[in-house]
């Protein structure tokens, strides 16, 4: 009996020991599989002993203006890279001196590279960016000493170079990618650059191209012995595609010169195509300030500037459209049969609609539609809004009438983003009836919101939307989404930028608006744009500003020898539209259509260039903004 028990125990112990051996072997197999197949570090370690894989960065796409002149191109630059596990003790003092660094900066940079919080995805086997964008001179000095610094090597890159010191906001800039960029797009690794604003950002995937790779063979001591398999496994980079801009850079530069020492915007569009010829935001900055290793310092200075040169007023500012909005009102009233072109409303100097409402301009009375537009009669459009939304025979409630009105305004390009091919476009604001129901507890009518009739009150628009309105009037009832890129190399434009967008207002009504705007130039509020050989049609605006002096506004379009342009000008705190916006519009029209300024206009040009219109804070004048 004892022998049986003894044998049973021995047999049981054998199974336990055998099972333990099987488990240990299984664990070893899993671990080997994990190291060699699943975990990249082991593979990287093995590969890095035999190979050095260098990323080959593509040449970023260039930009040309609409006339074919180069605007943005590339210059060679060099990054200092390192593979941390291969770095050996070296002369840190000499290395720092060569790169114009202090020893403290060198130590901090090495420490930051190892910090996985600051450098997610860090691996000692993978190349890391140590210092970016060395100049050719710095590269030449360092290249002679590279043999002293094992583990370091130089990666060839490129940086942007600008032909013009203009259009900084429009063109945009490049900046180092962050953790969110890397997570969102596997194309990027730490140390890469991408478009951060403007066209560089909107067309990033087209401009950046495709990376390549060069595989170099190492010997047992880690020294480079040549290209692996003679370069057969290398992948060539694919350059980014070039862009032809709709922008005329000479015109852009001219507009910026007129807006120097002023705050505001100029937008000029070719109505037939929707191509943006000029997109000026003032103040602005030289795009070359944000290139290379000085980018961070200059970016900080510009960001702290109280005039906000990074704020693109052409597509981001919310302004009341002022009297330019009367063209919108007229089209709605005609479409909804509230008025006919012959409908007259009585008006006289000092007349106010229903007490305490907008005063009118000096002109004859009563007026029909076309002279009301030419003289910018406030009362005419106040009566029009009253007859539209307060007439219960027309609509059962003020809310329903106002919703019809609002839908027309939106269809003409207000209240929502137009869709220009730039980041950060804002939508402006067009209220609906629910807004007023909430404000006035559902007890309101045209008198309550009468300021909307003349483009004031809650209504806000962007300069781009105003210029687009001028373009659709010039076209007689449609517009094409404004865009700043004219052509992409070997790639068609998005259909958004080629398709006509009709407003829903019968095209026959646009001819009355065109005639009213033409008479505003020949004998009304826009006489300052009346040119002998260019047919200009326009509408002034004086946008009320609760924070200071009113804004000067001009909207118009012009024809010359088969060419046509539409324009909007906003000058903040400059008073009446005829004071500053009109003469700026005149000069831009001349430059855009004729290519030069007539002698008769030269005194206007000189006066505008000398003018300084900034907020009532004298120290602003001493801050460099351009």
In a domain, 611, yes or no: no
Task: Kindly report the CATH number assigned to the domain that includes residue 165.
Answer: 3.90.1310.10
Q: What is the DSSP string of 347-388?
A: --TT-BTTSSS-B--S--SSB-HHHHHHHT-HHHHHHHHHHH
Please answer whether residues 283 and 166 qualify as being in contact, where contact means their C-beta atoms are separated by less than 8 angstroms: no
| Overall domain count for the chain | 3
- The pLDDT tens digits of the residues spanning 453-469 come to 999 999 999 999 999 99
Mark whether 126 and 263 lie in a shared domain.
no
2, burial (CB in 10 Å: exposed 0-12, middle 13-18, buried 19+): exposed
Closest alpha carbon to 67 in 200, 169, 164: 164
For residues 432 and 527, membership in a common domain is answered with yes
Residue 497 sits at the vertex; the CA angle it makes with 495 and 501, to the nearest 5 degrees, is 90
116 plus 265 within the same structural domain: no
- Asked if residue 602 belongs to a domain, the reply is no
Q: What is the DSSP string of 238-279?
A: BPPPPEEES--HHHHHHHHHHTTT--EEEEEEETTTTEEEEE
Q: Is 26 left (phi over 0), alpha (psi -120 to 50) or beta?
A: alpha
Q: Do 213 and 106 have their domain in common?
A: yes
pLDDT confidence of residue 31: 65
Check residue 339 and report its DSSP letter.
Answer: -
If asked whether residues 140 and 20 sit together in one domain, one would say: no
Residue length of the chain:
626
Burial of 419-438, coded b for 16+ CB within 10 Å and e otherwise, reads ebbbbebbebebbebeebee
Q: Are residues 364 and 481 in the same domain?
A: yes
What's the pLDDT at 353? Answer: 42
Asked, for residue 275, whether it belongs to a domain, the answer is yes
Query: Which two three-digit tokens encode residue 202?
Result: 């909107």
Interatomic CA distance for residues 412 and 578, integer angstroms: 25
Q: Is residue 51 part of a domain?
A: no
Answer whether 58's CB lies under 8 Å from 212's CB.
yes
Give the list of residues 6+ apart from residue 170 with CB closer than 8 angstroms, or none.
198, 199, 247, 252, 279, 281, 312, 422, 484
What pLDDT was estimated at residue 221? 59
- By DSSP bridging, strand 551-560 and strand 212-218 are unpaired
pLDDT of residue 228: 77
- 605 within some domain: no
Where do the DSSP E strands lie in 483-534? 485-488, 500-502
Could you tell me if 237 and 270 lie in one domain? no
- Residues lower than pLDDT 50 in the chain: 45, 349-357, 617-626
Q: What is the pLDDT of residues 117-167, one digit of tens each?
A: 888 778 888 888 899 888 888 888 898 898 899 889 898 888 999 999 999
Assess whether the previous peptide bond of 517 is cis (omega < 30° from 0): no
Residues 149 and 274 in one domain: no
Domain membership of residue 133 (yes or no) is yes
- The verdict on 385 and 258 lying in the same domain is yes
CA 81 to chain centre: 32
Q: Which residues contact 390 (CB under 8 A, 6 or more apart)?
A: 398, 401, 445, 446
Regarding whether 364 and 296 lie in a shared domain, the answer is yes
Residue 608 falls inside a structural domain: no
Q: Could you tell me the pTM of the whole model?
A: 0.87
Helix, strand or coil, per DSSP, at residue 397 = coil
Identify the domain containing residue 149 by its residue range.
Answer: 56-245
Closest by CA position to 469, among listed 424, 526, 517, 403? 517
Q: Which residues pair with 540 in a beta bridge?
A: 554
User: Are 152 and 262 members of one domain?
Assistant: no
227 and 257 within one domain: no
What is residue 455's predicted lDDT score, i.e. its pLDDT? 94
User: Per the domain annotation, does 443 fall within a domain?
Assistant: yes
Q: What are phi and psi of 207, to 5 degrees?
A: -80, -30
CATH code where residue 359 lies: 3.40.710.10
């Amino acid at each position: 009996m004892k022998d049986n028990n003894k044998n049973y125990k021995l047999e049981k112990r054998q199974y336990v020991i055998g099972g333990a051996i099987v488990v240990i072997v299984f664990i070893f197999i899993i671990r080997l599989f994990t190291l060699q197949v699943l975990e990249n570090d082991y593979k990287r370690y093995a590969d890095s002993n035999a190979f050095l894989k260098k990323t080959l960065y593509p040449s970023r796409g260039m930009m040309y203006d609409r006339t074919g002149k180069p605007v943005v191109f590339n210059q060679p630059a060099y990054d200092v890279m390192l593979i941390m596990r291969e770095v050996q003790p070296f002369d840190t003092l000499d290395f720092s001196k060569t790169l114009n660094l202090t020893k403290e900066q060198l130590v901090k940079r090495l420490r930051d590279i190892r910090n996985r919080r600051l450098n997610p995805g860090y691996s000692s086997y993978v190349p890391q960016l140590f210092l970016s964008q060395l100049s050719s001179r710095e590269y030449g000095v360092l290249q002679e000493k590279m043999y002293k610094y094992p583990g370091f090597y130089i990666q060839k890159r490129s940086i942007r170079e600008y032909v013009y010191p203009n259009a900084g906001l429009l063109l945009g800039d490049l900046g180092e990618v962050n953790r969110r960029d890397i997570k969102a797009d596997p194309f990027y690794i730490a140390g890469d650059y991408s478009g951060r604003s403007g066209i560089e950002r909107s067309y990033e995937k087209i401009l950046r191209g495709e990376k390549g790779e060069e595989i170099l063979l190492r010997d047992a001591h880690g020294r480079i012995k040549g290209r692996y398999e003679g370069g057969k496994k290398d992948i060539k980079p694919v350059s980014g595609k070039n862009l032809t801009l709709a922008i005329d850079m000479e015109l852009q530069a001219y507009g910026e010169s007129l807006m120097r020492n002023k705050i505001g915007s100029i937008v000029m569009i070719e109505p037939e195509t929707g191509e943006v010829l000029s997109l000026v935001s003032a103040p602005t900055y030289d795009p070359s300030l944000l290139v290379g290793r000085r980018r961070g310092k200059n970016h900080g200075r510009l960001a702290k500037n109280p005039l906000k040169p990074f704020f693109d007023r052409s597509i981001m500012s919310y302004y009341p459209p002022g009297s330019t909005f009367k063209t919108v009102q007229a089209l709605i009233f005609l479409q909804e049969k509230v008025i006919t072109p012959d409908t007259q409303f009585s008006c006289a100097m000092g007349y106010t609609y229903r007490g305490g409402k907008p005063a009118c301009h000096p002109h004859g009375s009563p007026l029909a539609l076309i002279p009301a537009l030419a003289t910018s009669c406030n009362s005419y459009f106040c009566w029009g809004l009253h007859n539209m939304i307060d007439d219960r025979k027309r609509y059962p409630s003020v809310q329903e009438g106002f919703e019809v009105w609002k839908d027309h305004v939106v269809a003409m390009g207000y209240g929502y983003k137009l869709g220009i091919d730039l980041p950060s476009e804002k939508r402006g604001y067009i209220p609906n009836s629910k807004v007023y129901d909430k404000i006035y507890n559902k007890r309101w009518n045209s008198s309550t919101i009468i300021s909307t009739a003349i483009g004031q009150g809650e209504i806000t628009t962007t300069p781009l939307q105003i210029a687009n309105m001028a373009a659709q009037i010039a076209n007689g009832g449609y517009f094409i989404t404004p865009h700043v890129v004219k052509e992409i190399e070997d790639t068609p434009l998005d259909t958004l930028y080629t398709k006509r967008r009709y407003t829903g207002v019968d095209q026959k009504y646009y001819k009355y608006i065109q005639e009213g705007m033409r008479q505003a130039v020949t004998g009304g509020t826009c006489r300052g744009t009346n040119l002998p050989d260019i047919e200009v049609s326009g509408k002034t605006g004086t946008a009320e500003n609760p924070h200071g002096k009113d804004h000067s506004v001009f909207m118009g379009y012009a024809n010359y020898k088969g060419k046509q342009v539409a324009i909007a000008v906003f000058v903040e705190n400059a008073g009446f539209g005829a004071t500053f916006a009109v003469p700026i519009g005149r000069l831009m029209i001349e430059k855009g259509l004729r290519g030069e300024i007539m002698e008769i206009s030269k005194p206007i040009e000189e006066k505008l260039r000398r003018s300084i219109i900034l907020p009532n804070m004298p120290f602003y004048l001493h801050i460099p903004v351009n």
